[in-house]
Each structure stands twice: as C-alpha cells, then as structure tokens.
Structure 1
Amino acid sequence: MASLTMGSLSKPASNKLSVVTSSSSLSTGAHASNFLQISKVEKNVSLQFQRRGYKNHFGQSLHEPFTLQQLDEEKFKLNAASTNNPQFDATHDLIKPTESVISFLEVLYRFIRPYAAVGTVLSVASMSLLTVEKLSDFSPLFFMKVLQALVGGMFMQMYVCGFNQICDIELDKVNKPSLPLAAGELSMKTAITVSALSAIMSLSIGWIVGSPALFWGFVGWFVVGTAYSANVLPWLRWKRFPFTAAFYMLIARALVVPIGYYLHMQKSIHGGSTLLSRPILFAVGMLSAFSVSTIFFKDIPDIEGDQMHGIKSLAIKLGEKRMFWICIWILEIAYVAAAFVGATSSITWSKYVTVISHLAMALILWVRAKSVDLKNMEAVQSMYMFLWQLFYAEYGFISLVR
C-alpha cells in the first residue's frame, strides 16, 4: 500500500507545502506530529494530515487538524486576502486577454488595407445617394438596404485583400514588409481562415437579402479578385500583366460592383432600375479614370519587388517618370471632362458644384504632382495615397451630379 507524506504548513505568506516519503498507513494520531505527512507504501495510498500551530492571515490561532477540503478553503482565503500581490489581482489577469483581442483587431484592420476599405464604404454611400430623388427616399428601407450592401462589400473587400496577401507573401516581404502576414504578425492559417469566411459571408449576404444585382456584383468581384492574385493556372495572376490588372480594377471599382450597388438600391427604393441615367454614366466614367490611374500608379513604388518576381508592370516597361505622368494626365483629362459635363446640367446647384469642384481638384493634383521627387520612393508612395484621397473626394462629388 502506497501512501504520500505532505510536509508542514509554514506561514501563510509562503504557502509552501513540502512532500516527503515515508512508510505508514493512514493514522488518526495527528496531534503527535508537527508536520503533514503522506506516506507511500507498496501500491496503496493513505493520507495523514498533521499540523503545526500557527496564526493565519487574520491573526487567529489554528490548532485543529486539517482535512484536504479545509486546507484548500484556507488557501483560498489567504490568496483572496493577498490583494497587494499582482499574482492574485483578477483585474490584472483580465487585462492580458483583453489586450490580445485588441491587438488581433488592430492586425485585422491592417490586413483589410484601410485605404481600400474606406473606398468600399464610400462607393456604397455614393451609389446609394445617386438613387435618391426626394427627401422621402431616406426611409428605414433605404438605410437597411445600404447596410446590406455595406456589410457584404466589406466582407468581400477583406477576402480580396486577404487572398492577395496570401498569394503575395514573398513579394510583400520586399515591397510591403509592414503588412501583417509578411511581418509575421498573422499566421498563414489565420489569414486563410479569415479570407475564406469573409468570402462566404459576403456571398451569403447577397443571396439571403434576395438582391440579384448585389449577389452577382459580389460574385464578379470574387472572380476577378481571385484571378488578380491566384497563381495556380497559367491564365491567372492578372497582376502580372498591365491590362488584366487594369481590367480587375475596372470591374471592382468602376463597373460591376458599383453598378451592383446602384441597381440594388434603385430597385429596392423605386421598384425598377435603369443604367442610362446621366448620373450613373458620369460615375462610371470618373471611377474608370481613377481605377486605371491608381492601378498603374501602384506599380511605381513596387518596381524592385516586381522585377524580382517576374511581374511585367507598365512601370517597369515605361519607366518611373513616364508612368507617373501618364497616371497624372489620365486624371487631369477626366477632371476637365467632368467640368464640361457638369456645365451642361439643367440643375443650377449641381452645375456649379460639379464644375468648380473638378477644376479645383485638377489644380490641386497638378501642384502636388509637380512637387514629387521621383527618386524618393517614400514620396512616390505618399503621392499614391494622395490619389486615393482624391478618389474618396470624387465619390462625394459623384453623388451630387444630377
């Protein structure tokens, strides 16, 4: 029979319990000894508790023998009373999981590429506002339909950005080492899980709300977003070639997806839809100009990594300076064309807003472009983000065209 001997309880401050080995059976003569003993003899286990007289944390003398349950209760009391010890601070222990959640959300925020996510939010808002004809259109139904498009669009945006980082992890270690996956802040398993769930959620929302325009818009975005990054078939990985990369951006930012938002909102509010209205044609034209300009400009600061991985971007073929000014001129021409279109509007306030805003944006863009040092890649990257800011502003101007 095996029995274990537990040593004496020392002061409550130490809370130490020593273990020794002895050969004896369970004994009830606990008062004869000054320590707590568990003896081990053969294969049977017996427990013998003995105590040493001491005062507990509250100054009370303890002379009675402890059972195992009493011992645990007394240790709990002592631990609970030790409020000055961080080891027993419940608030301190809860901070760590809270910090972990906040840290993960911050990584997820960078994983979705914030500038692109903002573009998605503004795209939904702009296309929704284009369908408004009178103040009574701002109904609970209107806002519910906006929310459907917004949530579904954000999930698909997370899939597209996440899938791109999964496929480009080695490339991003050169071009964008601060991205969560390339920096090792996010595991590949987590990135795949988040991206897959995001795609499923987006398509499910489009299907459940019963909006064909929204559903097929998300399907189109999923297809071109996958084709842009995937490298599993020879005809995929569209980002390797300038015109397929531009086609992806046109589908995602100017054609299928924005038009899907527009038709979703128009049918929900007015019961019908048309693609030949002046505002939607203006929107498609301006969004197309920005889509082409930003997708080509993006390759300028990425030249080094693209060359290493065999990506034949226009920036590599034409050179940094020429590509830079092509992108700027695309937008300048679009701004001037927008001003002319605005001047033909029959609605006075829309006419003045469209003309003045686009001429002002053209001037701001030109002044900013002239100040960029093309040999400084940080300055070029800053200019790229400035183009996105102009893109954001254009979403606002589009919603005012009538």
Structure 2
Amino acid sequence: MLTQHTSTCGKSTGTSTGARPGRPSCSLTQRHLQRGWFSRTPLHCPHRILSSSQAGCRLCSGKKRQYSASVRASSAAGAADLPAPRENLGDRIGAFRNAFWKFLRPHTIRGTILGSCAVTARVLLECSEYIDWGLAPRAALGVLALLCGNGYIVGINQIYDVDIDTINKPFLPVAAGELRPALAWVLVVGLAAGGLALTAANFGRTITLLYSLGLFLGTVYSVPPFRLKRFAVAAFLIIATVRGFLLNFGVFTAVRAALGAPFVWSPAIIFITCFVTVFATVIAITKDLPDMEGDLKYKIDTFATRLGTKNLARLGTALLVANYVGAVVTALRMPHAFRVPLMVGAHAVLALNIILETRRLESQQHSQLAIRQYYQAIWRLFYIEYCLLPFL
C-alpha cells in the first residue's frame, strides 16, 4: 500500500509516472513510518497539514482508506520496535518495597506486633519494680526477631503455594510475578537467619530453642515432603501452637528473664495464652474459606473442603462465642486477678459482634466478598483482644 501511495504522490523528477509536474510529494516515507512518527504527530503533506482523521490529500483522496490502514499498520510496527521506557531507580525501589510488604502478609505482621507489645506491657505492669528502660533497645530487637520469624513462615508458604495462589490469592507477589522465586528464596533465608541470630545473641538458650521450634513448625507446614498443611488437623495444630502458645509464652519468658524477675505464672498470661490458642485455631480453620477453589483443584485437605462454607463459618463462630463465654466465666471466678466489669462487658460485646458478622455472611449467600469480610472481622477481633490485655 505504501508503494501505491508513493506512486500517486511522487515528485515530478521521475520517481513516478503518475505524478503531476511541479507537484511535490508527501513526506511519507518508509523510514518515518517505521519510527512511529504518525502515532504521535499530525500527518504532514506539502499540499496541507492532515490530521489523523484526514489521512490523505487532494491528490490522494481516492486512496483514503488504504492510506489510513497503511499508516496504522506501519505505526504499530514502529511502536513495537521502540525500546520500552526504563524504570528509574526510585520506581524500582518503590515496587520492591510494595512487593516485600505484601510478601510479609501485613495482617500477620500486625498480629505479631500487637501480641508481643501487649504481653510485654502486661509483664511490665506486673513487674514494675524491675523496669529498666535501658532494656528498650533489646526489646526492640526481640520484636524484630519475631517479625523475621513471621516473615519466614509466611514467605516459605508462598514459595511452595505459588500454583495454588495463582487461583486463590493472585494478588500475592510471588504468584503475581512481582517477586521472582529466586529473590523470594533470598528473602526467606535471610529472614530466618537474621531472626535466629538476633534471638541467640540476645535472649539465651531457652528462648532460642522456642524460636527454632517455631521456624521448624513453619517449615514442615509448607515444605515437601512433609507439607503438613495438606492435612486439616495437623495444619490447625501448627498454627495454634505457633500463634497461641509459642508467641505468648515465649515473649512472657523472655521479658521476665531480661528484667531479672523470677519466673512466676501470671493469671493474665495463662488466660491470654489459652484464649489466643483457641482463637488461632479458629483462624487456622477459617483461613481457607476463600480458598476452596484452589484447594479442591490441588487436593489440599482443609476443613473448608470437608465441611463447606456455611458449616465451617458456623463452627468458627461457635468456637469464638465459647471462647468469649470462657473469658466471662474466668473473670467471675477470679475477680482478684481481673477487672471484672471490663472483662465481662468487653467480651460480651465482642461475642455479639461475631454473631452479627455471621448473620451478615449468611444474608449475603456466602459470596466471596462476604467470606473475605468475615475472615477480616475475625482478625480484627484478634487485634482487639491484645489491645485489651494490658487493661484486663
């Protein structure tokens, strides 16, 4: 088509037999088309300036459709040949930061920070005579070590779940291609090594062993040939142990040891350890509610695939309500250890809240959006419990 047009609008110098003498040619050349000029600027013709909607001149108006098609095709080819714009360093750093934050699973990070800070605050209130603010940097290193362990556990799970996550959680950075698997491996190995080094250097043998146990459980949860997440009971036991027992008991033991206070069981710490263990069990069994499609495809055995969405949501709600009732009974039976009005009132309100969330889930026919909102509501209640701990 380009040749056909050129012969119509050629110069009178003999480049075309069909050109009128003295009439200059259009400045349309193969070189211009390949550069993609016409995708960005009006079409220039010596007879007049042509907009993209006027692709032709008085000499070539009869070729208008053929000419426009030629320009579009050539412009597309030229644009494809242009190099992609380079990202500057700031953009690349920003993209990595966002991907890394998603890789850490922010809702679990918030739970770890709140849990460790709440338990620490409770110990400080009970052992105020031992407080030494010079230990604050050491406490910060302890929280950092916990975050490293948290990042390792959720990160290794994403590496081995990448195929399932392309269906269940395509927004996660490894599944979405925002983090290459090789880089994800570098991150999880660095997080595990860094967390273990911080713990060993600052918190002694007992805490280091507890920390190592947490890393081990997180590994066998996700990594073949163990991959215990395939089995519903084993999966919830691991999550309940790490999130419920190891976090609370480990932080409690580490803080008292750092303060130099003798080890004495605290009713509040016993309560929160038991309460959060049950709560973590609920999180463990309901976390797969939004993921049934991928779990069924890859034959992952979960309570969601066994019981179905409706039955599992009701089971999770029943366990949480029982947990809240247990908190009320504990306060009434141990008025010397807890602030009864706060303990009873707060947990009654929270129990009502999860019941209402369940009713909303059922009223929305267990849609995918409603399921995610229900699961997020469970995590909000989890955060609230830790916020209450220093004041109970």
Shorter-chain TM-score category?
A: 0.7 to 0.9
Is the 8 Å Cα contact of residues 131 and 259 (structure 2) preserved in structure 1? no
Indicate how the Cα distance of structure 1 residues 375 and 348 shifts in structure 2: closer, same or farther if over 3 A, else same.
Answer: closer
| Structure 1 counterpart of 2:107 | 115
Long gaps (5+) in structure 2: 1-85
Equivalent runs, 1:208-287 vs 2, <5 Å? 208-231=201-224, 233=225, 236-274=226-264, 276-287=265-276
CA drift at 1:389: 0.7
- Measured in 2, the distance between the counterparts of 1:379 and 1:336 equals 26
CA drift at 1:193: 0.2
- Measured in 1, the distance between the counterparts of 2:338 and 2:262 equals 27
2:146 matches 1:153? yes
Paired-residue identity, %: 23
Is the 8 Å Cα contact of residues 116 and 247 (structure 2) preserved in structure 1? no
TM-score (norm 1): 0.72
One-letter code of the match for 1:156? Answer: G
One-letter code of the match for 1:162? Answer: G
Could you give the per-residue CA deviations for residues 133-184 of structure 1, whole angstroms, max 9, x where no partner exists? 2555553144234212200001111111110000000000000000000000
CA RMSD of aligned residues (A): 2.0
- Measured in 2, the distance between the counterparts of 1:355 and 1:145 equals 35
Q: Helix, strand or coil for the counterpart of 2:174?
A: coil
Structure of higher RCO (CA pairs closer than 8 Å, 6+ residues apart) = 2
| Structure 1 counterpart of 2:167 | 174
Could you give the per-residue CA deviations for residues 283-307 of structure 1, whole angstroms, max 9, x where no partner exists? 1111011111011001111111001
- Measured in 2, the distance between the counterparts of 1:250 and 1:222 equals 14
More helix by share: 2
CA drift at 1:397: 2.0
Indicate how the Cα distance of structure 1 residues 350 and 267 shifts in structure 2: closer, same or farther if over 3 A, else same.
Answer: same
- Measured in 1, the distance between the counterparts of 2:95 and 2:282 equals 34
| Structure 2 counterpart of 1:96 | 88
One-letter code of the match for 2:369? Answer: E
Could you give the per-residue CA deviations for residues 175-215 of structure 1, whole angstroms, max 9, x where no partner exists? 00000000001101110000000000000011011433431
| Structure 1 counterpart of 2:359 | 370
TM-score (norm 2): 0.74
| Structure 2 counterpart of 1:131 | 123
Is the 8 Å Cα contact of residues 144 and 195 (structure 2) preserved in structure 1? yes
Q: Work out the number of aligned pairs and report it.
A: 305
Is the 8 Å Cα contact of residues 343 and 352 (structure 1) preserved in structure 2? no
CA drift at 1:308: 0.7
Is the 8 Å Cα contact of residues 119 and 252 (structure 2) preserved in structure 1? yes
| Structure 1 counterpart of 2:315 | 326
Q: Helix, strand or coil for the counterpart of 1:271?
A: coil
One-letter code of the match for 2:298? Answer: H
Q: Helix, strand or coil for the counterpart of 1:398?
A: helix
Is the 8 Å Cα contact of residues 268 and 337 (structure 2) preserved in structure 1? no
Indicate how the Cα distance of structure 1 residues 95 and 180 shifts in structure 2: closer, same or farther if over 3 A, else same.
Answer: closer
- Measured in 1, the distance between the counterparts of 2:169 and 2:87 equals 32
Is the 8 Å Cα contact of residues 172 and 182 (structure 1) preserved in structure 2? yes
CA drift at 1:378: 1.5
One-letter code of the match for 1:217? Answer: L
Long gaps (5+) in structure 1: 1-93
Match 2:373 to one of 378, 382, 393? 382
| Structure 1 counterpart of 2:157 | 164
One-letter code of the match for 1:204? Answer: A
